[in-house]
């Protein structure tokens, strides 16, 4: 009888990659009350998409780049979201008016869980926190506390009665330059309703999905579903509206990632660009701290690296160096 590890039989799925994934927006329910602002943001995003695509083409020696666009809808923390049919129409019409095409639309709640797969928990389990020099074990592990920092926090005063007061010491950032920018990120909170994932944690999952590095036992996570396959069924739908609606009536019934354009380039890409409001700057700083500590399956990273090399591309070793941002102020 022969014994062997199950992991030895595991195959890591391969799939097509775009050169670049551009996130053209992140929608909150309040944004729908400002249609003029939404249109202005789309127009500005369109200019950045065109400019970024042209610049990428030059870096590729004139080759036509594979660029896909995506949009994230916050159905996780926001209440009272319009039904999918209405909201998707508003977004796509605003994009079309700006000369912009949205290839993929994703639900933020899918970054917490995709069906039975606890996606955010899977990513959290792959966080490897390396204690900095001088750590004494007084701080709980990330798995216990739900907090992740990018350095050494200020030590807690001992508070010994009649003792000499401790001298305050500042926090220190790992791999700092001249000065520290210390950040402590809350990944989740435990409530009576269960674990509640933070915005930075879900945004980190979103970035990793776009890079195509997440796997479940070697299988790809986050395969987009085409619009043609998303049709309202007879369960809980108005028979009259079902004939004319393209999408289910609730966000819970929507696929995690919806492919709006049939001829779109692949959703995952070698690099990502996110065009966001400047209000997201703090969140994305936290995203970089989280993703800098995540260790995906080595085989997934290697497959993507070799795929890029076959196209004459060299990818940064660090995942966070594959992210880029364009932060926009009030328009």
- Contact between 104 and 71 under an 8 Å Cβ cutoff? The reply is yes
pTM above 0.85, yes or no: yes
Q: What is the pLDDT of residues 85-120, one digit of tens each?
A: 998 998 999 999 999 999 999 999 999 999 999 999
Quick check: 231 pLDDT over 70?
Answer: no
- Residue 296 pLDDT grade (very low, low, confident, very high; cuts 50, 70, 90): very high
> Given pLDDT bands bounded at 50, 70 and 90, which one contains residue 181?
confident
CA nearest neighbour of 216 among 301, 112, 300: 300
Per residue in 191-209, pLDDT (tens digit) is: 888 899 999 999 999 999 9
Q: What is the pLDDT of residues 217-229, one digit of tens each?
A: 899 999 999 987 6
Taking residues 2-26, report their average pLDDT. Answer: 78
Q: How far apart are CA 132 and CA 138, in angstroms?
A: 13
Q: Which residues pair with 149 in a beta bridge?
A: 184
Grade residue 236 by pLDDT with cuts at 50, 70 and 90. Answer: very low
Q: Is the pLDDT of residue 6 over 60?
A: no
C-alpha 167/C-alpha 279 separation (Å) is 36
d(CA 230, CA 247): 6
3-class SS of residue 206: helix
The residue to which tokens 């435990």 are assigned: 190
Share of the chain above pLDDT 90, in %: 59
- Residue 269's nearest CA partner among 304, 299, 245 is 304
By the 8 A CB rule, do 119 and 111 touch?
Answer: yes
């Amino acid at each position: 009888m022969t014994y062997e590890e199950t992991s030895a039989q595991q195959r890591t799925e391969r799939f097509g990659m775009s050169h670049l994934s551009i996130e053209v927006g992140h929608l909150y329910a309040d944004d729908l009350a400002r249609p003029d602002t939404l249109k202005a943001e789309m127009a500005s995003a369109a200019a950045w998409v065109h400019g970024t695509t042209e610049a990428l083409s030059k870096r590729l020696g004139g080759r036509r780049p594979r660029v896909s666009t995506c949009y994230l809808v916050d159905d996780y923390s926001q209440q009272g979201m319009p039904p999918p049919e209405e909201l998707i129409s508003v977004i796509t019409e605003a994009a079309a008016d700006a000369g912009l095409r949205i290839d993929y639309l994703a639900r933020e709640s899918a970054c917490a869980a995709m069906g039975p797969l606890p996606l955010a928990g899977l990513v959290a389990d792959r966080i490897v926190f390396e204690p900095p020099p001088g750590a004494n074990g007084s701080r709980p592990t990330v798995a216990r506390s739900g907090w992740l920092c990018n350095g050494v926090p200020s030590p807690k005063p001992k508070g010994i009665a009649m003792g000499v007061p401790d001298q305050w010491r500042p926090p220190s950032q790992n791999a700092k330059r001249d000065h520290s920018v210390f950040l402590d990120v809350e990944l989740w909170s435990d409530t009576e309703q269960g674990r509640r994932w933070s915005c930075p944690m879900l945004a980190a999952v979103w970035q990793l999905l776009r890079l195509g590095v997440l796997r479940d036992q070697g299988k790809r996570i986050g395969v987009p579903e085409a619009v043609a396959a998303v049709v309202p069924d007879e369960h809980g739908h108005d028979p009259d509206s079902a004939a004319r609606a393209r999408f289910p009536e609730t966000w819970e019934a929507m696929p995690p990632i919806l492919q709006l354009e049939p001829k779109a380039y692949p959703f995952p890409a070698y690099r990502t660009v996110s065009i966001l409001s400047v209000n997201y700057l703090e969140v994305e700083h936290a995203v970089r701290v989280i993703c800098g500590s995540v260790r995906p399956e080595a085989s997934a990273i290697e497959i993507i690296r070799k795929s890029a090399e076959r196209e004459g591309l060299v990818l940064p070793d660090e995942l966070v160096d594959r992210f880029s941002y364009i932060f926009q102020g009030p328009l």
